[in-house]
């Protein structure tokens, strides 16, 4: 359904015609619309004038793959609606789901936790803000608000029980037995009718269960429809429906056969599931549950037939739930940590309370409120108040856990490997004899001790990463796991930040919590937009800017030189801190005396000429050797000035720098048409190898005494099929 915030709407549009041509197959397009003419609702038919791009996303190590997400959602293109007379509402009819959503929303009060109810009922999570997500991620209970197998199973199970209870309250067996008695009495066979009493009860129970299964299947399907038939709900439906089919046909199937058949059908019907993280997490979680029940089956069934009191049974079930949740969380930890980059220490404490409360109490109450809302607004409000009260108590508990100093620990890939080995040793210790178990203690302690304590060997090699930040710039220079960052990418009015989506995930993946140097070329948003976030998130030892409004320990002025781990950082421009924003860019050259990288920011040809003239004069004074001219300017790698615009990258400047490689940091199909074709041709005529982050993703240069190794994230690091 359309998500509208402050008159700015985002929605998926199923295009059936393009330029008045009927498409052979409708395509899904993700659109933005600023100030639409009327309220957008699911089911409406529109004619829209749009600006489109093929489905595309940033490609960086450690970051979220928007392109893979679009592909998984079967979205073919993205774009925005332009204000034109062609924009017309063709059909006002809305979907049943939209009607239910609008009607139910009227009964929901304005509350901080109302978006949680919307997520649990309709799968709509657009109302959740960063505060919600932070608590959910820190406690690792995001799965509770993503309608999936757990929720579909609960709805199916509850509807099955409700149907049986209602039927059993009706005197059907008495009616059938009485009817059988009257017929038998007429035929002078009263004794035969009495004998049929047990047969009637047996047949009635069997047939009622069949109808109960069908009813639960219908309810589960309807709930999945309300949730928008999202991929997780469809996966759950496939599994549940296969289970119901086998029960209805009275076919005995082994649980692993049912599971394998379900997975086969899921991949057959939804092949893009294989690139979904949630798919693999779901499959892995189900397998973990099977393994736990298989290994500890006796513990989970030992009191099923025991004649014990209710409270005794309750305590036993609570212990079983505690064991199941603890083991499941432990087994899920490596995979969850691999995808999120962090381990939640409080996940077990959060899930033990949240899972049963939401699944067994909150969700049934919400479904009940949805049903009641059709005929009683007062009763609906009463039920919603109870739900909000329960959610408020739960949220206070979860917030307390998430704000603990030790609640979450960020892990690098190396630490993730050590954590996985530790969990493997723990699980191995469960199955071996006590004599063998004691031999596992020492390696376990050793691995755990090294999860947080690991060192990086010092080396002379270093690398330059030009990150894919769209139409902007962010360059990471790394040596010995220490970092220099040049520019931060942009931050947009919507709140989306390149620093948050690209830089911080990469630093988290690499275990980097401090920047040795942060250099801001100039104060344009596409270069400095992420400064405040990085300044609040990381320790910055040395900050160099040319903006007097920022409190920094270094000012960017030509002639300054600094040594960093054997690398020379030299400022070539500006000569004074004033002038045009672009031409005032901090031009920096980083060198190891053999190879170097030139970072010119957004300077124009005017500044390029001045720099060439300045260093030509300087070199003539110090040397008469023509081959050594511009030695202070010559660089192996250059980041193309101003993203490859026509106003930069003059021929004399490129000849003076004489780079081997050049990188254009530009947005995909940006409306400035950067890099300009004439500029790219100019680089090629000078035999300079060029890369464009819009096409290559992150471009990495690994520099050592042996030379330079170049890799492109889309072609060399990211699995090709996902990226292209």
Report residue 317's pLDDT band, with 50, 70 and 90 as the boundaries.
confident
Range of weakest confidence among 66-80, 465-479, 593-607, 652-666? 66-80
Structure tokens at 580: 């045009």
Domain stop point among 64, 94, 124: 94
Question: 581 with 688, same domain?
Answer: yes
For residue 672, the domain's CATH number is 3.60.15.10
Bridge partner list, 709 = 702
pLDDT exceeds 70 at position 194? no
Is 90 exceeded by the pLDDT of residue 54? yes
Boundary-marking domain end, from 94, 119, 134: 94
Whether 670 has a pLDDT exceeding 90, the answer reads: yes
CB 480 within 8 A of CB 510: no
- Identify the pLDDT of residue 626: 44
Note whether residue 307 is domain-resident. Answer: no
* Per-residue pLDDT at 333: 77
> Per the domain annotation, does 593 fall within a domain?
yes
Place of tokens 């250059």: 638
**Does 553 share its domain with 435?**
no
Last residue within a domain, chosen from 33, 68, 94? 94
Q: Are 539 and 551 in contact (CB under 8 A)?
A: no
Nearest to 484 by CA among 398, 558, 590, 560: 590
Mean pLDDT of 42-57: 95
pLDDT at site 627: 44
| Structural domain contains residue 23 | yes
Instruction: Indicate whether 183 pLDDT > 90.
Output: no
Residue 148 in this model has a pLDDT that exceeds 90: no
Using omega within 30 degrees of 0 as the cis cutoff, is the peptide bond preceding 675 cis?
Answer: yes
Residue 246 falls inside a structural domain: no
Strand bridging mode 88-91 / 45-47: antiparallel
Q: Does 466 lie in the same domain as 448?
A: no
Residues 612 and 672 in one domain: yes
pLDDT at 418 over 70: yes
Domain count, the chain: 3
User: What's this model's pTM, rounded to 2 decimal places?
Assistant: 0.86
| Average predicted confidence (pLDDT) for the chain | 87
Say if residue 563 is in the same domain as residue 693: yes
Contacts of 642 (CB under 8 A, 6+ apart): 582, 601, 602, 603, 604, 648, 649, 674
- How many CB atoms are located within 10 Å of the residue 116 CB? 25
Question: Are 490 and 441 members of one domain?
Answer: no
Q: In 510-655, which ranges are E strands?
A: 514-519, 539-545, 554-555, 561-564, 567-573, 587-591, 596-599, 637-639
Instruction: pLDDT band for 558, please (50, 70, 90 cuts).
Output: very high
In a domain, 384, yes or no: no
Question: 197 pLDDT band (50/70/90 cuts)?
Answer: low
Q: Which of 275-284, 471-480, 701-710 has the lowest mean pLDDT?
A: 275-284
Q: What residues are paired with 328 via a beta bridge?
A: none
Going by pLDDT thresholds of 50, 70 and 90, the confidence category of residue 486 is very high
Give the least confident one: 108-112, 259-263, 296-300: 296-300
83 belongs to a structural domain: yes
Asked if pLDDT for residue 604 goes beyond 50, the answer is yes
Q: Supply the pLDDT for residue 609.
A: 95
Res 391: pLDDT:
96
Given a cut of 60, is residue 393 above it in pLDDT? yes
**What's the pLDDT at 172?**
64
Residues whose CB is less than 8 angstroms from the CB of residue 425 and which lie 6 or more positions away in sequence, other chains included: 440, 443, 444, 447
Q: What is the mean pLDDT of residues 176-189?
A: 52
Distance CA 449, CA 196 (A): 72
User: pLDDT > 70: what percent of the chain?
Assistant: 88
- Predicted confidence (pLDDT) at residue 196 exceeds the cutoff of 70: no
Residue 340: its pLDDT value, please? 75
Please report the pLDDT score of residue 204 as a whole number. Answer: 65
Q: Residue 381 falls within a domain, yes or no?
A: no
Residue of higher predicted confidence among 206 and 570? 570
Same domain flag for 439 and 478: no
| The pLDDT value given to residue 192 | 54
Q: Is 558 in the same domain as 658? A: yes
Taking only the tens place, the pLDDT of each residue in 112-138 is 999 999 999 999 998 899 899 999 999
pLDDT at 177: 56
Radius of gyration over alpha carbons of the chain, in Å? 32
Model confidence at 495, in pLDDT bands (50, 70, 90)? confident
Confidence of residue 452 (pLDDT cuts 50, 70, 90): low
Write the pLDDT tens digit of every residue in 248-261. 888 999 988 999 99
Which pLDDT band holds residue 223 (cuts at 50, 70, 90)? very high
DSSP 185-218: HHTT-HHHHHHHHHHHHHHHHHHHHHHHHHHHHH
- Both 593 and 657 in one domain: the answer is yes
Least confident of 5-14, 173-182, 386-395, 649-658: 173-182
Mean pLDDT lowest for which of 11-20, 92-101, 203-212, 688-697? Answer: 203-212
Q: Are residues 440 and 487 both part of a single domain?
A: no
pLDDT at 718 over 80: no
Report pLDDT for 203.
Answer: 66
Domain assignment of residue 118, yes or no = no
DSSP class of residue 563 equals E
Do residues 493 and 545 both lie within one domain? yes
Average pLDDT over residues 554-560: 93
Report residue 708 as tokens. 């330079």
pLDDT value for 205: 67
- The parent domain of residue 448 ranges over 413-452
Same domain, 430 and 494: no
């Amino acid at each position: 359904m359309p998500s509208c915030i402050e008159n700015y709407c985002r929605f998926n549009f199923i295009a059936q015609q393009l330029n008045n041509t009927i498409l052979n197959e409708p395509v899904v397009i993700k659109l933005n619309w600023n100030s639409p003419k009327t309220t957008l609702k699911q089911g409406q038919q529109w004619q829209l004038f749009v600006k489109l791009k093929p489905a595309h996303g940033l490609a960086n190590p450690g970051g979220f793959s928007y392109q893979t997400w679009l592909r998984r959602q079967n979205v073919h293109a993205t774009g925005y609606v332009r204000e034109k007379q062609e924009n017309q509402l063709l059909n006002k009819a809305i979907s049943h789901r939209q009607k239910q959503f609008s009607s139910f929303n009227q009964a929901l009060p304005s509350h901080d936790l109302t978006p949680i109810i919307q997520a649990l009922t309709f799968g709509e999570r657009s109302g959740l803000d960063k505060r919600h997500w932070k608590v959910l991620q820190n406690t690792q209970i995001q799965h509770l608000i993503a309608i999936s197998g757990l929720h579909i199973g609960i709805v199916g199970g509850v509807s099955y029980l409700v149907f049986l209870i209602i039927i059993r309250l009706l005197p059907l067996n008495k009616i059938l037995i009485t009817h059988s008695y009257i017929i038998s009495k007429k035929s002078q066979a009263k004794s035969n009718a009495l004998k049929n009493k047990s047969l009637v009860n047996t047949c009635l129970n069997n047939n009622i269960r069949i109808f109960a299964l069908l009813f639960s299947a219908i309810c589960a399907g309807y709930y999945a429809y309300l949730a928008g038939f999202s991929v997780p709900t469809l996966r759950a439906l496939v599994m549940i429906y296969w289970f119901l089919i086998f029960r209805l046909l009275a076919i005995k199937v082994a649980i692993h056969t049912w599971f394998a058949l379900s997975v086969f059908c899921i991949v057959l019907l939804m092949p893009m599931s294989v690139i979904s993280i949630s798919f693999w997490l779901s499959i892995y979680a189900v397998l973990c549950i099977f393994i736990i029940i298989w290994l500890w089956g006796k513990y989970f069934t030992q009191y099923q037939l025991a004649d014990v009191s209710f409270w005794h049974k309750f305590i036993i079930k609570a212990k079983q739930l505690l064991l199941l949740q603890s083991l499941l969380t432990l087994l899920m930890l490596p995979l969850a940590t691999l995808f999120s980059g962090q381990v939640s220490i409080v996940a077990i404490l959060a899930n033990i309370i949240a899972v049963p409360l939401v699944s067994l109490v909150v969700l049934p109450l919400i479904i009940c409120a949805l049903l009641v809302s059709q005929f009683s607004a007062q009763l609906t409000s009463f039920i919603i108040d109870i739900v909000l009260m329960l959610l408020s108590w739960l949220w206070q508990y979860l917030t307390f856990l998430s704000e603990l100093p030790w609640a979450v620990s960020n892990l690098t890939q190396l630490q993730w490997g050590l954590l996985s080995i530790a969990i493997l040793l723990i699980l191995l210790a469960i199955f071996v004899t006590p004599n063998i178990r004691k031999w596992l203690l020492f390696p376990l302690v050793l691995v755990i001790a090294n999860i947080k304590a690991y060192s990086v060997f010092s080396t002379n090699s270093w690398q330059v990463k030009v990150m894919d930040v769209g139409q902007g710039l962010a360059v990471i220079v790394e040596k010995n796991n220490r970092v220099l960052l040049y520019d931060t990418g942009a931050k947009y009015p919507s709140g989306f930040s390149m620093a948050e989506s690209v830089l911080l995930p990469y630093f988290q993946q690499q275990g980097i919590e401090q920047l040795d140097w942060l250099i801001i070329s100039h104060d344009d948003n596409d270069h400095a937009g992420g400064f405040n976030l990085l300044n609040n998130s990381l320790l910055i030892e040395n900050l160099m800017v040319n903006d007097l409004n920022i409190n920094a320990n270094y000012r960017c002025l030509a002639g300054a030189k600094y040594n960093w781990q054997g690398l020379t950082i030299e400022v070539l421009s500006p000569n004074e801190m004033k002038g045009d924003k672009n031409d005032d860019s901090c031009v920096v050259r980083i060198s190891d005396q053999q190879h170097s990288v030139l970072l010119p920011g957004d300077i124009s040809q005017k500044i390029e000429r001045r720099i060439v003239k300045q260093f030509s004069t300087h070199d003539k004074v110090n040397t008469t050797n023509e081959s050594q001219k511009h030695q202070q300017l010559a660089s192996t790698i250059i980041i193309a000035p101003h993203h490859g615009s026509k106003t930069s990258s003059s021929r004399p400047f490129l000849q003076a720098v004489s780079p081997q490689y050049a990188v254009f940091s530009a947005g995909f199909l940006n409306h400035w048409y950067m890099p300009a074709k004439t500029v790219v041709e100019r680089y090629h005529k000078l035999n300079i190898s060029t890369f464009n982050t819009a096409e290559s993703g992150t471009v990495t240069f690994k520099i050592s005494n042996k030379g330079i190794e170049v890799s492109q994230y889309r072609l060399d690091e990211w699995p090709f099929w996902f990226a292209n």
